[in-house]
Structure 1
Amino acid sequence: MPINQLKSLFSDPEIPEGRARELINSLDHFDIARLLHQLDKDKKVFIFQYLTGDVKRQELLYETDAESRQEIIDDLGPEFMAPFLEGMPKDEAADIIQESEPEVQQKILEQMVPDEAQTLKNLIRYQEQTAGGMMTPHFNRVDPGEIASEILAKMIRNPSKDTVTDFFVVSPDQKLVGFFSLRDLLNVLPHAKAIDIIREESPRVLLDEPCEKIASLMDHEHLSTVPVVDGDNVVHGIVTFDDVFRGLKQTTNEEFYTMVGATDTNPFARKTSSKIAARAPWLFTTFIGGMVSAFVLKSFQVSLTEFTVVILFIPFVLGLAGNVGIQGATIIVRGLATGDIQSDNLHTVLKSELKVGFSNGIIFGVICGLTISFFAEKFLETSPALGITVGLGIILAVTMATLIGSFTPLLFLKMNIDPAISTGPVITVLNDIIGLTIYLYTATRVFSML
């Protein structure tokens, strides 16, 4: 394991510098990047400085976790980082600078060549996981009147390792006309003009388009790159598949950790104190929910004292309702994130989810109600009416949980709050309080009629 080799390296204080450098460079720097969070700050900087070549260092800095990256930047300072970041792809450099505090960003940009600094300023003003934040301003720009032989010759003279497969035709006023691929270029006559090569359909995305929608477009159109334009169709850059994949992966991870109420960043790359601070508010939400649930139980104290057997099935009813609520919320949140749920099909999706929830409530309510009624007198020494209580409680609690799970993410979205938050402790607490109230009220009404 690379991490064991690194730890053994630092455990030997007398290891020669040359041997330490050799060992670090013998390991895959991408593996090191993924494991860097397990080491302390001094060791991270040591490894970074001992890597041979700026390319390895740049890739390690970009691929490692945000906390390790910031520690390295803070230690080496703006004077080192400015020329170092200038040598990186502009979209990657912008992502790194964007993570820093505003004053650190300013210091790094001040140390850069003015043109480089301006390019990065233009990129970091957009949110990270949007087309503007992920795009690179460098791409194969072609004039409408250029002929195929000239374009091919220019590509050979100035090869680009990143985006050689697509060419974007841009008018003199910087507006996107269309695009064509290298395959398209090779299949036309040498004197064919760029304007005549472009494809009939030329997909494009706006600067503020989220990465989920870009990924959906690229998947649907089978694209490896997509141009980024503003509202006037002026082209600002392109987004590549690897940038979208990375953005989608980061967004998915953030949503997953948010859904479970942990943190919106990788918890394995954070210190214990940071984890405690990130999770405590969510536990406080659960604490409040528990106090409200206790108040609900207190409100039905008389009924519970008389019909204590009802208490046995509280975990059962709440657990079933909670699972249904989480299922519904997760499906809605995922649909919103991927773009599968739009305004034109929202009503249909909600109607379908409510049908599923209500049907499951009836199925399990009837099964559980009949089962409990059958065994109530023999094993629980109580009235078969307990089955009616539990059955009705399940039907009503599951139906309400479906409503909560389906509509809470939409409410959060309306309030400009990340809908993923709703699938964590929020849904759980709401389902517990409302489900408990419904079940105990149903029990009180049923047994009062006996």
Structure 2
Amino acid sequence: MLIDKIKNSLKDENIKESVLTTFINELDHFEIARRLNEFSTEDKVRIFHLFNSDNKRQILLYETDMDSRMEIQETLDKDYLANLLDQMAEDEATDIIKEHSNETQEEILSKMEKQDAEVIKDLIQYGEETAGGLMTPDFNKILWDQAAAEIFTKVRQESNSDTQPYFYVVDNQNKLLGFFKLRDLLNAPASAMAKEFIRPETPKVEISDPCEKVANVMSQEHLSILPVVDEQNVIHGVVTFDDVIRVMEDIASEDIYTMVGTAKVDPFAKKTGSKIMARAPWLFTTFVGGIISAWILGIFDNTLSEYTAIILFIPFVIGLAGNVGIQGATVIVRGLATGDIQEDNITHIVKNEILVGMLNGTIFGFLCGTLISIFAKFLLNTDPLLGVVVGTGIILAVSLASLVGSLTPIIFINLDIDPAVSTGPIITVANDILGLAIYLVTAKFILAAF
């Protein structure tokens, strides 16, 4: 209803511009940013300019999808865009500038204030999903020899600003010595130097640490802000909880979309043509898998012609093997994402997942094989040997699927491929082909032997 109301207002030629401006500015600009992709490019730009403050325009740019953000920025004068980004937090401005080409980045930065531009240049070099890419250079830095009274006076003078609750103590080389909270400052003697009332342990992350590790440290230490240091323990900035949550949500969404073979970023905001292009390769993979499966069926044409009842259980064997493979891959991928799987336990977890898959295959293979052998003659009018074929086929197919599903994420990581791909259509199709081939080979050998 809200979107329709805005669209109708924008189309109404009789409505005064001042009335339209008032109407747009009374709405929740966060909600407009979230659903901006539902408007035409012309309307997106018009809504942007209808906002009566740069603050709202900054929020619209930052909170909306990337395609809409780029469409708006393409219409803006570079001087105005640079000024707009200048007023934003450096880490947020960096996220926006990163989306441009190198040439455009340089042009925008050249028009920004020199100090802000230098900070953003430093931030751009870090990966978007690393501590360095998430950090903000604005934090409470305290020299080791500053007195508590001096620090407290400074805090009182800045009481109207968004003062962070943590203070980071550094030496003369900017190396992190420790941190203290506001209540530690209040309890310290007025003459005490900062280094005398810092906490004994300081949780921190390194610039290159992935977002998942930052989130894990925050969770374990119950902190909403973490200092970011380099290999020499020099502090460069801090990572805040809200930035981590935002990126973790993006990573989780990206993994889910990767699993099903669709656009990784803002799939709801993509145009129809872009959606088709993003999904077509994955569907083509399924098409190729179908052709290969048909070819395998053709190879075993004689066996299938002689024992047609085998065909009845192909979907059953493939489905069971596929599910087990996806279960193993999903558990490994999720464990890697949450940090539950580390170098010291990865071998144990992978072996355990493979064992669980094989045991499940054995249990269901024996159960299904026994039931089919018992009822084969009465219900299917075929040889009870079919139960042995199906049961053995399930055991072998599920065991291989478990092996493939559990090991593929690890292999992909070593090849610098997103492990979430291992739960997607490619691996599903591969498991289907392998399961079908194993089942038919098993059937051919057992039936030929007996």
Normalised to the residue count of structure 2, the TM-score between the two structures is 0.97
Q: Secondary structure of 1:76's partner?
A: coil
User: 5+ unaligned residues in a row in structure 1: which ranges?
Assistant: none
1:269 match? 269
Alpha-carbon distance in 2 for matches of 1:160, 1:256: 42
Alpha-carbon distance in 1 for matches of 2:348, 2:26: 56
1:449 match? 449
> Structure 1 vs Structure 2: percent identity of aligned residues?
53
Q: Shift of the alpha carbon at 1:159? A: 3.9
Alpha-carbon distance in 1 for matches of 2:189, 2:406: 56
Aligned residues: 450
Q: Secondary structure of 2:190's partner?
A: coil
Alpha-carbon distance in 1 for matches of 2:13, 2:333: 51
Alpha-carbon distance in 1 for matches of 2:276, 2:103: 27
CA contact (8 A) 1:179 1:202 kept: yes
CA contact (8 A) 1:372 1:386 kept: yes
2:417 match? 417
CA contact (8 A) 1:131 1:228 kept: yes
Query: C-alpha offsets along residues 273-306 of structure 1, whole Å, 9 cap, x if unaligned?
Result: 1111111221222222222212211111111111
Greater shift after overlay, 5-14 or 356-365? Answer: 5-14
Query: C-alpha offsets along residues 45-97 of structure 1, whole Å, 9 cap, x if unaligned?
Result: 11111112222221121111111111111111322110000000110000010
1:242 match? 242
Give the residue type in structure 2 aligned to 1:16.
K
Q: Shift of the alpha carbon at 1:190? A: 2.0
Query: C-alpha offsets along residues 292-322 of structure 1, whole Å, 9 cap, x if unaligned?
Result: 2122111111111111111111111111111
Alpha-carbon distance in 1 for matches of 2:255, 2:159: 38
User: 5+ unaligned residues in a row in structure 2: which ranges?
Assistant: none
1:218 match? 218
CA gap of 1:69–1:180, structure 2 versus 1, over 3 A, is same
Query: C-alpha offsets along residues 136-177 of structure 1, whole Å, 9 cap, x if unaligned?
Result: 111111010112121111112124744520101111111111
Residue 297 (str. 1) matches residue 297 (str. 2): yes
2:349 match? 349
CA contact (8 A) 1:328 1:405 kept: yes
Residue 85 (str. 1) matches residue 81 (str. 2): no
CA gap of 1:161–1:410, structure 2 versus 1, over 3 A, is farther
Alpha-carbon distance in 2 for matches of 1:50, 1:370: 72
Alpha-carbon distance in 1 for matches of 2:167, 2:105: 33
Query: C-alpha offsets along residues 183-224 of structure 1, whole Å, 9 cap, x if unaligned?
Result: 221222222221011111101111111111100000000111
Q: Secondary structure of 2:179's partner?
A: strand
1:384 match? 384
1:103 match? 103
2:50 match? 50
Q: Secondary structure of 2:313's partner?
A: helix
CA gap of 1:162–1:297, structure 2 versus 1, over 3 A, is farther
Alpha-carbon distance in 2 for matches of 1:101, 1:77: 16
Q: Secondary structure of 2:126's partner?
A: coil
Q: Shift of the alpha carbon at 1:3? A: 1.5
Greater shift after overlay, 77-86 or 2-11? Answer: 2-11
Residue 155 (str. 1) matches residue 148 (str. 2): no
Normalised to the residue count of structure 1, the TM-score between the two structures is 0.97
Greater shift after overlay, 150-159 or 136-145? Answer: 150-159
Q: Secondary structure of 2:77's partner?
A: helix
Query: C-alpha offsets along residues 114-150 of structure 1, whole Å, 9 cap, x if unaligned?
Result: 2211111111111111111111111111010112121
Greater shift after overlay, 202-211 or 49-58? Answer: 49-58
Q: Shift of the alpha carbon at 1:14? A: 2.1
1:370 match? 370
Alpha-carbon distance in 2 for matches of 1:135, 1:46: 33
1:67 match? 67
Alpha-carbon distance in 2 for matches of 1:159, 1:170: 22
Give the residue type in structure 2 aligned to 1:263.
A
Alpha-carbon distance in 1 for matches of 2:429, 2:76: 46
RMSD: 1.3
Give the residue type in structure 2 aligned to 1:226.
L
Alpha-carbon distance in 2 for matches of 1:422, 1:156: 54
Q: Secondary structure of 2:8's partner?
A: helix
